[in-house]
Amino acid sequence: MTGFSAQWLALREPADTAARHAALAADLVLRLARQAGGADREQRIVDLGAGTGSNLRATAPLLGPRQSWRLLDHDPALLEEARAALAAWGGEQGMAAHAAGARLILKGPERRIAIAFAQADLAADPAIGLDSIGEDAPHLVTASAFFDLVSADWIARFAAQIAQRGALFYTVLTCDGRDAWHPGHAADGEIARAFQAHQARDKGFGPAAGPQASTLLAEAFQRQGYCTREESSPWRLGPDQAPLIAALAEGTAGAAAQTGLLAEETVSAWLNARRHATCDIGHADLLAWPHPARPLSSG
Ligand SMILES: C[S@@+](CC[C@H](N)C(=O)[O-])C[C@H]1O[C@@H](n2cnc3c(N)ncnc32)[C@H](O)[C@@H]1O
C-alpha cells in the first residue's frame, strides 16, 4: 500500500488548485451539464484516490446546483479526514453541513452537494466503486494526482469500464516528468533518472505508468471511441512556496536514494543545493468524452 499523509496533501493543495488548466475545466462544465441532461439536473460524480477531498473542493464550485459525489480511497484514515475537511470547507463556502446516513450533505444558496465515502482498493478492480446499489451510472469519473500510480494494463482495463458506462472522464495533475529546478545543479540529470526509476515502481497496480500515464489514458480512451483533450498544468513554485519546495526536494532525493542508483554524497549535495531553489513540476490534465456519434448514457 502506498502511503500519502494528510499533511503532504494539505501542503500541495493550494499549488494543485492554482495549476489546474482553467479552460479544460470550463470544457468539463459544459460537457457534464450535457451528459447529465441539463445544467440543473443532478450530476453524479465518482472521485478515485480522493485522499482528503481536494479534487471535490476545486471542482464542485464550478459544477451544477445538485451534485452527488462518491469519494473512493483505500486509506480509511484519509477518508475520515476528508469528511471533516469537507464539512469545514462547506462552512467556509456558506454551505451548512449535516449527515444523512453515512453521507455528508453540504447545502448552500447555490448548490447542494451530497458526498458518500467508500473505502475501496482500486488496484484489485478498476470498476470497484463505480456503481452503487440503487444509483444509475456516474456521469463523470474523475481523479486528481492519482493516475501516475497505476500501470498501463490497469489503464486499458479502466478505460474499457468507463466506456461501458458512457461516462465522462476528467483527471488533473498527473505527473508528466517535465520537471526543472532552478538554479541547475550538476546532479540534476542523475537525480531525475533515479526519481523516474522510482516512479515506475509498482504502487500496487503493476509497474507504474508514471509520466506516461496521461498519454496512455488518452490513447486508451481513443481506442474506446472517445474524444480527448489534454492540457498542461505545471506547478511553478517560487520563493513564497518554500515549505512545499523543501518537502518536494526531500521526497525527490529520498526516492532517488532508495533506487540505489546514486552515491549518498551525490544525493545529499543535490538536496543541500535545493534549500533555496525554485522549480517547475510538470503535470497534465485530461478530459475524455464519448464521441458524439456514440449514444450518451441515460439521465
Ligand atoms: C497523491 S494522492 C492524491 C489524493 C487526492 N486526489 C489529492 O489530489 O489530494 C493519491 C491517492 O490515491 C490513493 N490510492 C493509492 N493507491 C490506491 C488504491 N489501490 N486504491 C484506492 N486509492 C488508492 C491514496 O490513498 C491517495 O489518497
State pLDDT tens for residues 142-176: 999 999 999 999 999 999 999 999 999 999 999 99
Continuous H helices in the chain:
6-19, 22-35, 54-59, 76-92, 152-165, 188-199, 213-223, 242-258, 264-273
Look at residues 274, 258, 125 and name the one whose alpha carbon lies nearest to residue 188: 274
Look up the pTM and report it: 0.95
Q: Which residues line ligand 1 (CB under 6 A)?
A: 2, 4, 9, 49-51, 54-55, 73-75, 78, 120-123, 144-146, 149, 204
Whole-angstrom distance, CA of residue 128 vs CA of residue 161 = 10
pLDDT in tens, the chain (299 residues): 457 999 999 999 999 999 999 999 999 999 999 999 999 999 999 999 999 999 999 999 999 999 999 999 999 999 999 999 999 999 999 999 999 999 999 999 999 999 999 999 999 899 998 988 778 899 999 999 999 999 999 999 999 999 999 999 999 999 999 999 999 999 999 999 999 999 999 999 999 999 999 999 999 999 999 999 999 999 999 999 999 999 999 999 999 999 999 999 999 999 999 978 999 999 999 999 998 866 544 43
pLDDT of residue 136: 86
Nearest CA residue ID for atom 1, ligand 1: 145
Report how far ligand 1's centroid is from the alpha carbon of 126 (Å). Answer: 13
Q: Closest ligand 1 atom, CA of 16? A: 8
Identify whether the C-beta of residue 69 lies closer than 8 Å to the C-beta of residue 45.
Answer: yes
Q: CA triplet 115, 1, 213: central angle to 5 degrees? A: 75
Whole-angstrom distance, CA of residue 237 vs CA of residue 120 = 33
Report how far ligand 1's centroid is from the alpha carbon of 16 (Å). Answer: 14
Q: C-alpha 61: how far from its chain's center? A: 17
Whole-angstrom distance, CA of residue 246 vs CA of residue 8 = 12
Nearest CA residue ID for atom 24, ligand 1: 49
Q: 6-182+207-238+280-290 in CATH: which number?
A: 3.40.50.150
Nearest CA residue ID for atom 10, ligand 1: 146
Q: What does R_g of the chain's alpha carbons equal in angstroms?
A: 19
Nearest CA residue ID for atom 27, ligand 1: 51
pLDDT of residue 295: 53
Whole-angstrom distance, CA of residue 166 vs CA of residue 164 = 6
Report how far ligand 1's centroid is from the alpha carbon of 51 (Å). Answer: 5
State pLDDT tens for residues 94-142: 999 999 999 999 999 999 999 999 999 999 899 998 988 778 899 999 9
Whole-angstrom distance, CA of residue 269 vs CA of residue 121 = 38
Q: Which of 75, 86, 202 to mutate to test ligand 1, by most ligand atoms within 8 A of the CB atom?
A: 75
Could you tell me the CA-to-CA distances from 73 to 159, 185, 263 in Å, in that order?
19, 37, 36
Look at residues 93, 15, 24 and name the one whose alpha carbon lies nearest to residue 61: 93
Region for residue 101 given its phi and psi (left: phi exceeds 0; alpha: psi -120 to 50; beta: otherwise): left
pLDDT of residue 299: 39
Identify whether the C-beta of residue 294 lies closer than 8 Å to the C-beta of residue 233.
Answer: no
- Cα-Cα-Cα-Cα torsion 150, 140, 226, 23, nearest 10 degrees, comes to -90
Nearest CA residue ID for atom 13, ligand 1: 49
Q: Closest ligand 1 atom, CA of 146? A: 10
Report how far ligand 1's centroid is from the alpha carbon of 292 (Å). Answer: 32
Look at residues 281, 271, 278, 247 and name the one whose alpha carbon lies nearest to residue 191: 271
Question: Is residue 33 exposed (0-12), middle (13-18) or buried (19+ Cβ within 10 Å)?
Answer: middle
pLDDT of residue 135: 80
Nearest CA residue ID for atom 8, ligand 1: 144
Report how far ligand 1's centroid is from the alpha carbon of 97 (Å). Answer: 24
Nearest CA residue ID for atom 16, ligand 1: 2
Report how far ligand 1's centroid is from the alpha carbon of 72 (Å). Answer: 9
